[in-house]
Structure 1
């Protein structure tokens, strides 16, 4: 759902809270070093086991982490902040709100999809083979009422009652 940049931005904002300019510079330098190391590892890839992490994903994360620490360091220098505060970081806060909105939208879409699946499980779709004379009567009723034969049968089924002895009955009704 989120890109490597989105994940890293959220992580760096949490980790950076309360760090001084020097500490943020150290984090940026560490990220730069790790970025360089993971790029070098990409050049020497051998056979990987099934449980090894994807080195390309790791390299992408360190690139994003380095860029975000650099952005924060530049922001602190430009704004002359002694420590980093995520609340004062306008761009970071905007990205965080966008991520939250994206997450809420994804959760809402997922919930709607689950409701649709549940409704689909509760529905009954039946194919009914009727004798020719019954089929002709059903089509005639449907034509007179302006409904499809399936709609007439659905309304009929909706009004069926079962007596104590198991017999099915339907009171007279007009399809609507």
Structure 2
């Protein structure tokens, strides 16, 4: 008998892209900043983008929280682009300070991130609930010899079921006697 265990979600899957991370960070950091402060952030992001790109090529030490080099470089590239977008928006619209709620495109992206985060939390909760329900379940692959296998297939065919469904119905009807004997009362397999 071989017991099958359901596959767990893949490790290392990222919910947010580098652009999502950058947009979220910039949106929070830019709140209330004036055009000059945003321009400083653009310059800082340009320097960090260049530094991480150089470090990615192997031309420097990497000290950023044990983060994947490619991911960190992608985040700084995206942050630089997002800071430029915020600066250009403020200049074009004439804002004296950045207010995230007034940034239509940034608000659309933020709602998308929030929806994906809520969806991921719901999926995680559902996965946890399924694991709790499945804790008592047993998934088994059964290898039967020819004669019992033919019998199960014939019963399944007559009932319009798959052989595994017939075996499941058999297992659901098992009765264990006080002396440990196992029996199955007569029944007709059905959908």
- TM-score band (shorter)? 0.7 to 0.9
CA contact (8 A) 2:54 2:60 kept: no
Which residue of structure 2 lines up, in the alignment, with residue 157 of structure 1?
A: 171
Gaps of 5+ in 2: 1-13
Match of 2:92 among 48, 60, 78: 78
Q: Which moved more, 1:93-102 or 1:39-48?
A: 39-48
Whether 1:103 aligns to 2:121 is no
State the Cα RMSD in Å: 3.5
Q: Measure, in 2, the Cα distance between the counterparts of 1:81 and 1:66.
A: 20
Q: Which has the higher helix share?
A: 1
* Unpaired segments ≥5 residues, structure 1: none
Task: Give the alignment of 1:2-21 within 5 angstroms.
Answer: 2-21=16-35
TM-score (norm 2): 0.69
Q: How do 1:38-117 residues align onto structure 2 when only pairs under 5 Å count?
A: 38-39=52-53, 45=59, 56-110=70-124, 115=130
TM-score normalised by length of structure 1: 0.74
Aligned pair count?
A: 174
Change in 2 beyond 3 A, CA 1:91/1:141: closer
Whether 1:145 and 2:159 are equivalent positions in the alignment is: yes
Greater relative contact order, per chain length (Cα 8 Å cut-off, separation 6+):
2
SS of 2:139's partner is coil
142-151 vs 11-20, which moves further = 142-151
